């Protein structure tokens, strides 16, 4: 990915350094492996769902954390002890993983559950009161 010079933005927009951080986070996200596969679904205007295929992992082996507008999902398999397993074909990967998602401002994780090898993480974008649209009545600024 070519380097992008955001200097002109800094001259015109106060607080655009946040944009630079988002661009940098996107570069890091591009370098992540494709494992485990996942979907990001728009449920409605303010709700999202991330679904990850985590076959072979138990709930105790998956860690979900939010840190500085980042959602980090990690799977840590416990070492197998006892009898050595012999596979004729091994198509289900059980390797450790860590996947990071950059969350937008005001996006919060609501819940997470795991069913049939799929991890579902529900998110909500909460619009702060000052940013919500509000209707102004005509004539509302008349002197009394």
The residue count of the chain comes to 144
Whose tokens are 């009545």? That residue is 137
Per-residue model confidence (pLDDT) at position 12: 57
Q: What is the mean pLDDT of the chain?
A: 82
Per-residue model confidence (pLDDT) at position 53: 95
Domain range annotation of the chain? 1-31, 36-80+91-129
Give φ, ψ of 24 to 5 degrees: -65, -40
Per-residue model confidence (pLDDT) at position 127: 79
d(CA 42, CA 49): 7
Average pLDDT over residues 110-126: 95
Per-residue model confidence (pLDDT) at position 132: 72
Residue 66's pLDDT band, with cuts at 50, 70 and 90, is very high
Order of strands across the sheet that contains 107-115:
38-42, 47-53, 118-125, 107-115
Domain 36-80+91-129, classified CATH 2.60.40.790, yes or no? yes
- Supply the pTM of this predicted model: 0.69
- Max mean pLDDT range (26-30, 37-41, 125-129): 37-41
d(CA 59, CA 113): 9
Side-chain half-sphere exposure of 7, counting CA atoms within 13 A: 2
Q: Which of 27-36, 43-52, 87-96, 109-118 has the lowest mean pLDDT?
A: 27-36
């Amino acid at each position: 990915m070519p380097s992008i010079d955001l200097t002109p933005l800094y001259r015109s927009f106060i607080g655009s350094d946040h944009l630079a951080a988002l661009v940098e986070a996107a570069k890091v996200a591009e370098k992540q492996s494709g494992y485990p596969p996942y979907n990001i679904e728009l449920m409605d205007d303010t709700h999202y769902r991330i679904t990850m295929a985590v076959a072979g992992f138990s709930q105790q082996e998956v860690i979900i954390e939010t840190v500085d507008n980042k959602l980090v999902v990690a799977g840590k398999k416990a070492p197998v002890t006892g009898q050595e397993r012999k596979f004729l074909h091994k198509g289900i990967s059980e390797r450790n993983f860590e996947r990071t998602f950059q969350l937008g401002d005001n996006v919060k994780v609501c819940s997470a559950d795991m069913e049939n090898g799929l991890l579902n993480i529900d998110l909500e974008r909460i619009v702060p009161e000052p940013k919500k649209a509000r209707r102004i009545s005509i004539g509302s600024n008349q002197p009394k």
